[in-house]
Structure 1
């Protein structure tokens, strides 16, 4: 018998001073049985970093469907305008996404993110629509500790750093550009 996804509810309040965006979002996120709290919270952080007032940003099937990213933005015709991956995807997946979307964003995190980036950087040099950011492992571990099935997250973004406050504590996550 297959394990089912666990549902998380998040009230996300975003104050993004870098982009001048301020908004609140009620989100329902399915956590895949193989997904960690860290990955779930990085996906929520990605939503906060790229949310805007048009509400077209949505969680895709991610782990459940290898042809979809973690988050994406689609226009009214269904074309993918923004493809957002979290983790350490391989270069073939990234290049395929660059062919399908107007913009591709990767939020790389984990203890081996530096090794991943040094091995993949040269292969992605020709990708024009790609932006890659690194999230320090210690910071995403702090972020993972904030996970609850029902949570309120206050995210303040300023000078490339996201401060996340929740009922269980807070975390500071520098978003370091690797390829922009």
Structure 2
């Protein structure tokens, strides 16, 4: 019998002074059996970083569906406006996403993020609608330790850093924007 996804419920209280966005969102996220808690929490952080007042940003089937990103924003016609990947996606996947969406974002994390970037950087130069960010290793690991099946997260974003606190503790994640051109 196949393992089932684990459901997590999160109340996100977002204070993003960089964008001037302040709101609360209640979200339900399914954690794939092969997904780590760190990756789940980075998906929640991605939601906080890119949520806006129109509330059109949504989680997808993620790891369960290879043709979908981790999060996306669609318009009323179903056209993909924003495609958000978490992790270290294949160069071909990112370029395909750039053809399907007007805005593609990759949140790279983990000890191999710099090596991944070195390998895909030149191939992604032509993608003008791509933004790539790398999260610091220690901060993303701390973030993973905050995961609980039901959680309330206070997320303060300022000066390329996200400070996340909950009853389980706190984490500070530094976010560095990478440029595709060498």
**How does the TM-score come out when normalised to structure 1?**
0.99
Structure-2 residue corresponding to 1:76: 76
Residue matched to 1:64: 64
Contact 1:80 1:100 in 2 (8 A): yes
For residues 88-142 of structure 1, give each alpha carbon's deviation from its aligned partner in whole angstroms, at most 9, with x where no partner exists: 0010000000000010000000110000001110110010000000001111000
- Between the aligned partners of 1:171 and 1:111, the Cα distance in structure 2 is 17
Distance in 1 (CA, whole Å) between partners of 2:61 and 2:96 is 17
User: Hey, what's the Cα distance between the residues in 2 that align with 1:57 and 1:71?
Assistant: 7
> Structure 2: how far apart are the matches of 1:136 and 1:100?
29
SS at match of 1:95: helix
* Partner SS for 2:24: strand
Q: Secondary structure at the match of 1:34?
A: coil
Provide Cα deviations, 1:130-159, integer angstroms capped at 9, x if missing partner.
000000111100000100000000000011
> Could you tell me how far 1:44 is from its partner in structure 2?
0.1
Instruction: Verify the 8 A CA contact 1:4 1:32 in the aligned structure 2.
Output: yes
Matched, 1:29 2:29: yes
The 4+ residue runs of structure 1 with deviation greater than 4 A are none
- Quote how far apart the aligned CAs of 1:179 are: 2.4
Give ranges in structure 2 of 5+ residues lacking alignment: none
Which segments of 5 or more consecutive residues in structure 1 lack a partner in the other structure? none
Q: Contact 1:130–1:179 at 8 Å: present in 2 too?
A: no
Count of residue pairs the alignment pairs up: 180
* Alignment RMSD (CA, Å): 0.7
Distance 1:12 1:101 in 2: 26
State TM-score, norm by structure 2.
Answer: 0.98
SS at match of 2:40: helix
The alignment partner of 1:98 has SS state of helix
Q: What pairs with 1:27-176 in structure 2 (closer than 5 Å)? A: 27-176=27-176
Mapped partners of 2:83, 2:61: distance in 1? 12
For 2:17, the equivalent position in structure 1 comes to: 17
Q: CA–CA distance in 2 between the matches of 1:103 and 1:127?
A: 10
SS at match of 2:18: coil
Q: Determine helix, strand or coil for the equivalent of 1:40.
A: helix
